[in-house]
Structure 1
């Protein structure tokens, strides 16, 4: 797969699978969630690479080879690891690492901001149970030492805001320049 074709492949996956409801009963589709997360990042003044990461952070849900109902069955599909592994050959780490770290970022925020847990949607609370408990003090320090942890935390906050079934956002094509900006040269 060439660098120019990877974005077309991503768009095709969104076209084919993006209308699936977001994991566990949220009232938005996978594509609505990705677009809302990216739109929130853009409104916050995020970099092109973080906006690209916002579009791609749950791409693993679209392309894993597990049955659709795995999340409902309480199985962690490790979508964050899958997205990083699939896209690392094409995108810079400022795109792939926040996406890979957005799940640990939820665990991090629950550890360092007790009020954060109360802001989670019921579906996010259930997924937290699958993905692990809040980080320990040692895990918090290790997470904070990672190069892209701050952007992962920002992405996590955008992620939680991307679950409004009535939100209006630009379409996927609007974000192509952000994705192109995140490609490896």
Structure 2
């Protein structure tokens, strides 16, 4: 059988979706919740896809265990965006690439944002460089993908609800197929 890019991505999600990486819910629950939040927000298809795919880098080279087990930042946002880039347009991959910078930005820009982070997000924040300094904030905002990355970050932060039943991974296949680069 010839696997498509989406088949390979879904295979990765099914292989590693049971892990928690320090959160109360599994990674599979997290990604479908983030994508569902994007749907509820009437986000464009590319941003819904980014919400679904934003953590694929966690599953490449055991990056998801890097913070808790090895005390390092494996830069899952960079490896994930690079993995997706041959298959999806920048409207999908750029918010994925920037979702960690969006967290760092929000920690500096919004009072109380950092206090609401999950324990795992707080640990990774420290390893990822902490809150932005003023120059990093300006650089981030200058990126054309920053607004979508900020929206993605909100879905990421809110998509961590134990017991919340949302549509399954497979329900996103048609959306992803419509975004594939030909």
Instruction: Decide whether the 8 Å contact of 2:53 with 2:96 is kept in 1.
Output: yes
Report the CA distance between 1:181 and its aligned residue. 2.6
Q: Aligned-pair RMSD on alpha carbons?
A: 1.6
**Among 88, 104, 108, which residue is 1:107 paired with?**
104
Where does structure 2 lack aligned partners over 5 or more consecutive residues?
none
Determine the C-alpha separation between the residues in 2 that align with 1:70 and 1:138.
28
Q: Deviations over 1:138-178 (max 9, x none)?
A: 11111111111000000001100111121111011111122
Work out the CA distance in 1 between the residues paired with 2:100 and 2:78.
Answer: 9
Instruction: State the Cα distance separating 1:39 from its structure 2 match.
Output: 0.5
Please point out which of 49, 53, 56 is paired with 1:52.
49
User: TM-score when scaled to structure 2?
Assistant: 0.93
**TM-score, normalization by structure 1:** 0.92
1:138 matched to which residue of 2? 135
**In the TM superposition, what are the counterparts of 1:59-138 in structure 2 within 5 Å?**
59-62=56-59, 64-66=60-62, 69-73=65-69, 74-138=71-135
Q: Is the 8 A contact 1:49 1:181 kept in 2?
A: no
Partner in structure 1 of residue 17 of structure 2: 18
Q: Aligned equivalents of 2:83 and 2:136: distance in 1?
A: 26
- Runs of 4+ residues deviating >4 angstroms: none
Relative distance call for 1:67 and 1:139 in structure 2 (3 A) is closer
Q: Which residue number in structure 2 is paired with residue 8 of structure 1?
A: 7
Moved more, 175-184 or 137-146: 175-184
How many residue pairs are counted as aligned between the two chains? 180
Contact 2:67 / 2:123 at 8 angstroms: preserved in 1? no
The alpha-carbon deviation at position 86 of structure 1 amounts to 0.9
Shift of 1:69: 3.7
